[in-house]
Amino acid sequence: MSVTDPALVAPASDGATSRPRVFSGMKPTDGVLHLGNYLGALRGWVAHQDERDSVFCVVDLHALTVPEAVDPSVLRSTTRAIAALYFACGLDPERNVVFVQSHLTEHAECTWILNCVTPLGWLHRMTQFKAQAEARESVGSGLLTYPVLQAADILLYDTEVVPVGEDQVQHVELTRDVAVRFNRLFGDTFVLPRAVIPKAAARVMALDDPTAKMSKSIAAERAGHAIGLLDSPAVLKKSIMSAVTDSGRETRFEQAGPGVRNLLTIYQVLSNEPMAAAEARFEGQGYGALKKGVLELVVETLAPIQARYTELMREPAELDAILARGAEQARAIAAPVLARVKAAVGVGA
Ligand code: AQP
């Protein structure tokens, strides 16, 4: 399976271009996204929105997998905030279907059917489950089976392409395996999806531990871990200037340590400069100059996103109306697919 972002516009047989169906989503953990979410996924969603027939979701049911971390009084507003961030980053609700997962019952219904065809061993092998289970005393079954919910999310839209960061590739592969198994047991029902990841910044690393990926849930507990899309310039200065590097002065990507490689990657992707130019720019200057360069670019990139986000969040009713329209459009695609699934297994009226 190819996972680097290919040209996604495949010429149709009549010479016209066909727009592949795309699905992706993010969890509303804490109502904020970080630079990894943006560079690994969201930026690509926006860049390709004219070439793809896209469906994007805020996957709020996934937020329930760790119930201790859920605050029911704020989940609805954090879900809305993630949608606002999608739009603030440039996702256009006129050109894409954008909705909230729990506004459709089809996802939960399809998940039950897919749960029944998914071998337990496949779920125990998921590296994200293993890592999260190791870090907790007790683990809910939702944490084990949420990749099946994710499979339902994707398969309900006849999805061909799933643009994600590298950490999610294993889950998209599982989705494909579940679809293949279902099709073998019950006849051809599902389209087989594939993951695409960006060529650079598919895995943005944590500022305070460049051996681990930047993560929303850790960012909520540890200042200086992530670059939050809504962080003020003062907070960004503090976290980026204290990013973990090493004691050397090496700025060549291949020779540098993981912290410097991470900063160089962020710089290169945000500046659109070739890596060689980014390396040369900071050569012999020490890591303070690299951090300052990254800081300036991050502040410049995030300023318009933050301004647009603030504007959008002033009109929650308008956001809710956009999401309600998105849910209708999503249901128009998902309901017939679920009907196909139920007919295949012999349930439903
Ligand atoms: N560090 C990262 N680098 C590149 N891409 C990343 N993504 C997440 N972290 C990085 C991509 O962002 C999307 C978010 O998916 P999600 O909300 O389902 O959560 P996740 O993958 O589990 O990401 P987080 O930030 O670590 O969230 P929490 O802490 O809430 O679990 C996906 O496309 C992901 O690949």
Q: What's the pTM?
A: 0.93
Distance 303 CA to ligand 1 centre (A): 22
Distance 217 CA to ligand 1 centre (A): 10
Counting atoms of ligand 1 from 1, which one is nearest the CA of 28?
Answer: 17
Q: Which residue has the tokens 């699905």?
A: 23
- 24-73, pLDDT tens digit by residue? 999 998 889 999 999 999 999 999 999 999 999 999 999 999 888 889 98
Please report the pLDDT score of residue 1 as a whole number. Answer: 37
Q: Output the residue whose Cα is nearest ligand 1's atom 15.
A: 26
Task: Report the mean per-residue pLDDT for the chain.
Answer: 93
CATH, domain 216-312, list 3.40.50.300, 1.10.240.10, 3.40.980.10, 2.60.120.590 = 1.10.240.10
Residue 175: name the closest of 157, 193, 196 by CA: 193
Distance 22 CA to ligand 1 centre (A): 17
Residue 253: name the closest of 241, 238, 266, 270 by CA: 266
**Percent over 90 (pLDDT), the chain:** 83
Contact criterion met (CB below 8 Å) for 54 and 37: no
Looking at this protein, which amino acid is placed at residue 289? A
Q: Give backbone dihedrals phi and psi of 55, rounded to 5 degrees, phi first.
A: -125, 120
- Could you give the count of Cα atoms lying within 13 Å of 51 in the half-sphere of its Cβ? 13
Q: Output the residue whose Cα is nearest ligand 1's atom 35.
A: 165
Q: How far apart are CA 227 and CA 231, in angstroms?
A: 7
Q: How far apart are CA 322 and CA 187, in angstroms?
A: 37
Looking at this protein, which amino acid is placed at residue 171? H
Q: Given pLDDT bands bounded at 50, 70 and 90, which one contains residue 16?
A: very low
- 273-325, pLDDT tens digit by residue? 999 999 999 988 889 999 999 999 999 999 999 999 999 999 999 999 999 99
Query: Order of strands, edge to edge, in the sheet holding 161-163?
Result: 97-100, 53-58, 21-26, 161-163, 194-196
Choose the weakest-confidence range: 203-207, 263-267, 277-281. 277-281
Torsion of CA 93, 96, 101, 103, to 10 degrees: 60
Please report the pLDDT score of residue 328 as a whole number. Answer: 98
Contact criterion met (CB below 8 Å) for 258 and 210: yes
Distance 214 CA to ligand 1 centre (A): 8
Contact criterion met (CB below 8 Å) for 323 and 99: yes
Distance 60 CA to ligand 1 centre (A): 14
- Could you give the count of Cα atoms lying within 13 Å of 86 in the half-sphere of its Cβ? 32
CATH 3.30.70.2860 describes domain 9-199+315-345: no
Counting atoms of ligand 1 from 1, which one is nearest the CA of 41?
Answer: 33
Domain ranges of the chain: 9-199+315-345, 216-312
Q: What HEC string does 166-185 produce?
A: HHHHHHHHHHHHHHHHHHHH
Q: Output the residue whose Cα is nearest ligand 1's atom 10.
A: 36
| Residues in Cβ contact with 201 at an 8 Å cutoff, skipping those fewer than 6 apart | 36, 39, 40, 265, 266, 269
Q: Which residue has the tokens 């944490």?
A: 143
Ligand 1, residues at Cβ distance < 6 Å: 26-27, 29, 36-37, 40-41, 164-165, 167-168, 202-204, 213-217
Distance 40 CA to ligand 1 centre (A): 8
Q: Output the residue whose Cα is nearest ligand 1's atom 13.
A: 37
Q: Where are the alpha helices (DSSP H) in the chain?
A: 35-37, 43-47, 72-88, 106-115, 120-124, 127-134, 141-155, 169-186, 216-221, 233-241, 258-271, 275-282, 287-313, 316-345
Contact criterion met (CB below 8 Å) for 329 and 99: yes
Q: Give backbone dihedrals phi and psi of 163, rounded to 5 degrees, phi first.
A: -80, 115
- Could you give the count of Cα atoms lying within 13 Å of 327 in the half-sphere of its Cβ? 17
